[in-house]
């Protein structure tokens, strides 16, 4: 049985949207592989414009399955092929480079059942590990990064002596936390550009309440004079704190409240060691995650199309379009570089 949160069937069932899909599991011997299935489509986007769409039923499975050997992973994938309907496509996310599942994707028996297409390049997943406490964690960071973090913390604490940290794990307190964070969250770019603001009735709030019922939710808020200026939503499972959402008031951006909160969260989590000894920053990388991390792993995403007529056509269409899109993007980048060179030459003349 895996240790990752996304391998916990109770968690997947509790947090799945009731009208957007279903949760199930494929069983092979002593192992099971939870999945989330939903109707969707393979979108063909170019410069933000939708050029087409192939309807599919996507079976989403998270990687990082070290408890499976390569033969077992290959066997499970082959068994899954029998369960897919006419529109079924496997979508593997978070497949760790070199893990048995990664290796199984290259096995001839798997290639006989599927056409495998990597979606995008490898991504870096950042972790903060602190099995020996907060001081040891800080000491594990490169000197310059550690100094930058401490400098941001000192500046903030000097500027805002009335700061405080709230920690929320109980359902009633989490409801209050969501209400406090909502008005500030709506000012963030995540809310304005991507619709990912926190509301008391939104999907993020539903996930928090589900986590609270399972005893996994642990959320934080950084306050200045009683007002929230940064927050973090996360869940504890298998000794790991999974950081799902983090944000801060953009009006205080120059004081780095998000970085200060992240340090305070890690310091708090260190008090729970050995029950919690790692913070997983999940998908996507950025300079702040890199600054805070002392470990990382490389992960990839893969589509597995059934090796039949429809699967082969979908595979060929998506692979061909991706190559075309990459070529257009590369040409656009080259043309911009060329134009910048021309402007510099004109100025030089």
* HEC assignment per residue over 79-122: HHHHHCCCCEEEEEEEEECCCHHHHHCCCHHHHHHEEEEECCCC
- In this prediction, residues 259-275 reach a mean pLDDT of 95
- In this prediction, residues 133-150 reach a mean pLDDT of 96
Tokens in use for 205?
């709030």
- How far, in Å, CA of 84 to CA of 61, rounded? 13
Who's near 133: CB < 8 A, 6+ residues apart?
270, 273
Considering only 141-150, 193-202, 210-219, which range has the smallest mean pLDDT?
Answer: 193-202
What does the mean pLDDT of the chain come to? 88
pLDDT band per the 50, 70, 90 thresholds, residue 212: very high
Which of 76, 64, 62 is CA-nearest to residue 12?
62
176-179: long-range contacts at Cβ-Cβ below 8 A with a sequence spacing of 24 or more?
A: 177/219, 177/221, 177/231, 178/205, 178/208
Considering only 51-60, 155-164, 229-238, which range has the smallest mean pLDDT?
Answer: 51-60
Which residues in the chain are classed under CATH 3.40.630.30? 131-276
Q: What would the pLDDT profile of 276-297 be if each residue is shown by its tens digit? A: 999 999 999 999 999 999 999 9
- How far, in Å, CA of 109 to CA of 127, rounded? 34
Who's near 187: CB < 8 A, 6+ residues apart?
249, 250, 251
CATH of domain 131-276: 3.40.630.30
- How far, in Å, CA of 11 to CA of 206, rounded? 12
Of residues 174 and 202, more confidently modeled:
174
Considering only 160-164, 196-200, 228-232, 331-335, which range has the smallest mean pLDDT?
Answer: 331-335
Considering only 82-86, 161-165, 213-217, 252-256, which range has the smallest mean pLDDT?
Answer: 82-86
- How far, in Å, CA of 314 to CA of 87, rounded? 10
Q: What would the pLDDT profile of 13-25 be if each residue is shown by its tens digit? A: 988 877 778 898 8
Grouping H, G, I as helix, E, B as strand and the rest as coil, residue 293 is: coil
Of residues 340 and 131, more confidently modeled:
131
Q: What is the DSSP string of 188-210?
A: SHHHHHHS----TTSHHHHHHHH
């Amino acid at each position: 049985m895996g240790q990752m949160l996304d391998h916990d069937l109770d968690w997947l069932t509790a947090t799945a949207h009731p009208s957007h899909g279903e949760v199930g599991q494929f069983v092979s011997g002593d192992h099971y592989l939870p999945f989330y299935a939903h109707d969707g489509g393979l979108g063909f986007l170019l410069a933000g414009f939708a050029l087409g769409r192939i309807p599919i039923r996507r079976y989403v499975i998270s990687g990082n399955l070290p408890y499976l050997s390569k033969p077992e992973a290959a066997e499970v994938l082959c068994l899954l092929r029998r369960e897919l309907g006419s529109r079924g496509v496997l979508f593997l996310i978070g497949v760790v480079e070199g893990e048995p599942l990664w290796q199984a994707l290259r096995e001839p028996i798997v290639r006989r059942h599927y056409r495998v297409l990597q979606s995008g390049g490898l991504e870096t997943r950042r972790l903060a590990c602190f099995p020996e406490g907060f001081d040891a964690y800080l000491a594990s960071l490169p000197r310059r990064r550690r100094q930058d973090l401490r400098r941001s913390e000192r500046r903030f604490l000097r500027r805002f002596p009335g700061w405080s940290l709230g920690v929320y794990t109980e359902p009633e307190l989490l409801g209050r936390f969501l209400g406090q964070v909502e008005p500030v969250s709506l000012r963030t770019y995540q809310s304005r550009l991507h619709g990912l603001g926190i509301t008391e009735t939104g999907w993020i709030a539903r996930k928090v309440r589900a986590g609270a019922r399972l005893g996994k939710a642990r959320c934080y808020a950084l306050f200045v004079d009683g007002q929230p200026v940064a927050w973090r939503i996360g869940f504890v499972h298998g000794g790991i704190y999974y950081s799902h959402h983090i944000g801060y008031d953009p009006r205080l951006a120059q004081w780095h409240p998000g970085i200060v909160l992240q340090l305070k969260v890690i310091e708090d989590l260190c008090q729970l060691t050995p029950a919690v000894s790692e913070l997983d920053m999940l998908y996507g990388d950025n300079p702040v995650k890199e600054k805070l991390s002392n470990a990382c792993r490389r992960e990839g995403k893969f589509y597995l199309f059934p090796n039949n007529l429809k699967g082969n056509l979908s595979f060929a269409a998506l692979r061909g379009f991706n190559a075309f899109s990459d070529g257009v993007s590369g040409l656009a980048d080259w043309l911009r570089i060329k134009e910048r060179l021309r402007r510099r030459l004109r100025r030089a003349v």
